[in-house]
Structure 1
């Protein structure tokens, strides 16, 4: 008898074999269910006399389970050993084993369909050993094909055939695939762009045999690990600015590892990051406002002063491209609200900055004399405009009969609006005026107070007083003068 090889590579006997295995598996499963039901009924039912059948029933169950296990391993009919689909690396050695249930009645052969030219060929010891890639041997009724060094020439579909040496019936096994592992490949867009708050599906395709295990990193932090995939669909349902950055994909299998990177760009409207706090600056100084913005794409800027748009002007305003505003040589009318407006094609943001220009203080109110004695005067006045700076004190001057204003030396008046002047001359005329002092400067002199006259000195107290030269019509009174003033 001769064996005729299959000449049509696309026709495989595996389909009808698997159908037959399926039908057998269903039949055995039903039989196993019946036996288990019977065993359960005997264990819990009333017919205790049937318990003697338990060992036989359990033995039949075990036999059926063994048959199901053999079928689930896709062993073809007539074989007790058969190769599985395999993926190996180049240069690796592999054994393909076949064993028939009745090896004495059959001649066991192995055939291969080479992927290189899609031709079928029997492999026997003489032919195989001559090629230098194969070795065929028989070990305990098992036909073993050893591929010494897997390469592209040995890649293909292998199957075992049992040829009946008596009858003309063959046992033909299904093809098993032997493939060379291929290192992973990665395909994706170099840049993925999305608008903030929208969704983004990161789509990455992979090649390789076997399918690679994939790890996804975002800015160095692992985001996902998915084993054995050909396409990664990673959904970002509500994109935020933090989702932007460098994404790294690493794919690995038994043949190697591949690494690729791509950028995710998130587009969003401006957000002004600079803190807004009121600012005080002295008159005639230069003031700079920064408007730091986070936006993509880049923002354009406008500045407004009290809702009026500003433009660059020599010696007044400088508007820079980075959003900075410089106000030169500020005056009091520069006090107010400066608004930074940043905008791009996705929207805008604005923030107010308050500027307070510090100027010299205004003159205090006219001093009022609350009370006075021979040597003291109690003054009180109203506080004037402080020029947006803290008043650090007051300076006081007085005017007497000379009509010239004189400053009290070494006299420091605190920030309160009352003060007692000491060490004045008794029975003397006085008028007073004062000015406020701040870190910016001092005010004009206040309006002078009304003139007052300090109390005069009292007479001296007499001592050793008495009478002398007393007669019927007269007498003399005498006394001595002391240093003490009468109370």
Structure 2
């Protein structure tokens, strides 16, 4: 009864461990993104996405601007799985930074923060705008005064009536920073009505300002004056790496000023573009080395004016090293490190289950490194390293699991067979945390061990018996029994050890195992150390087992590729023995090597080649063959010497026809048969020797003679 209870307890422990090892903390599949919601949208709700996997299934909470959302207070907030749905969103209450928290019984993680903005474009004031009156030649600025809006808008100006837009040139400029229209030197053609048109980039909606009349004064013409810069970029421009930067610079003056740009500490990037008006320097895909001091200069012959500003490129944090899930035994030390790049350089902070982690007696945090000494089960949970600078934050998440369990074995009794005279190791590998203390005993004797394994050198019959492994830690103790039997070594006889056959014949290899009769033996046949597949051998191989200790391999209708070494591996529960035999296969020769035409005359070709495989039967002779446009396929040619014997690697093809293109190949012959031909030589043409037609006894034959005469008649 006690044995049954012990077995039941063991099964329950293993089952519980399996469940524990399939549990895992939340891992985000989808995190919320920055969102712009158009107030005039037909869709009356906005969704902030959040989804995590975990076991148990995670639950979700949301915060906005650091304050937890109470989803029970009204109908406007609801969850779809983990995503937050805001119905009838309102700018005054719903704008801000949103963060999702996913939790289960193993811990909590925070998503990145996502900004929710509202897009809208108000209307211009209906108040009539007064006329702007200037002298001819004077500069002027027409104010746009845009309506309330979010986010960015673009500006353009309509002249007199839609769709006649003001075209920018060296004299006129529309600033996308202020929205104002700048005319450096007014001309009579500029007199008229001006309307500012704004467009919301997010919604596409537009709005038109009331007209602003521009008139000319009648008290004279404005004299010439030096440039005055009215539009310029900020003294410090901050730009994110990879974006496009636009630097504006425009001046009033008479004559119309010329705008030029330069970079004080280097050259302006080659990728930079200038607008037609020269008033905008545009740098796409900005990089760190584009930083520096930029200067715009406005000049006419009356003088000049310059402005300088600093362009600084920043980068969001990016991971170069992250943390990973970790399992530790109770009492061990945790060392995690995360590293990120960014400009400015990121700072680091740590979260545990979504709340800040602070230094303590066991906890140390320095420059992205977290150390927890002598970990405890209460340290288990979800941890996050946060790298952040003033432009953004990134999160790396990992689960820390502190293992604490009593020792358990997969099996309480193991039976092991050793071979007489050989070494054997008795393994003791319980599952436990922390690592248990291992002791071995046989009867009343306690045995020494190495790495928890008991090693017996040169096993004898006296080593047979029952061995007990005991595993113990602070959570419990358990034992495993190994029953060791020592058997005679097995021998394998494979015959014949070496055999020669001819292609098409059959052979039987016999494998016999001499072993302890109490043990079952299993055979495996191999060809060149690779297991034989009897189902894919094309019917050439058959496995025959006449007795439990004998296994034969029959090879039928042998091919050249079947040559090699055949191995028989016999295996019992206590021993494995391997023996090999060599099979030589005689067959027709392989193809000779590449044929080279070394010399060509009007009727001869000197050929050379390299020997191919003789396939265990010496090459007796070679047959030289040729092909031309006048031959019916490949034909044997006469040679010098007349018989090309097997140890030769060159010969002369004779009785060829002049001024004919030939290819040559060589075929090897041995006692088994004729082999495959070599690859054809390159095409060569015999020398010209008049138009003497080939005779009927030449290699071309009578039919080729007829074809040759036809060619002559055509010429």
TM-score (norm 2): 0.26
Higher strand proportion? 2
Q: Which has the larger radius of gyration?
A: 1
Q: Between Structure 1 and Structure 2, which shows a larger proportion of helix residues?
A: 1
Greater RCO (Cα-Cα under 8 Å, separation 6 or more): 1
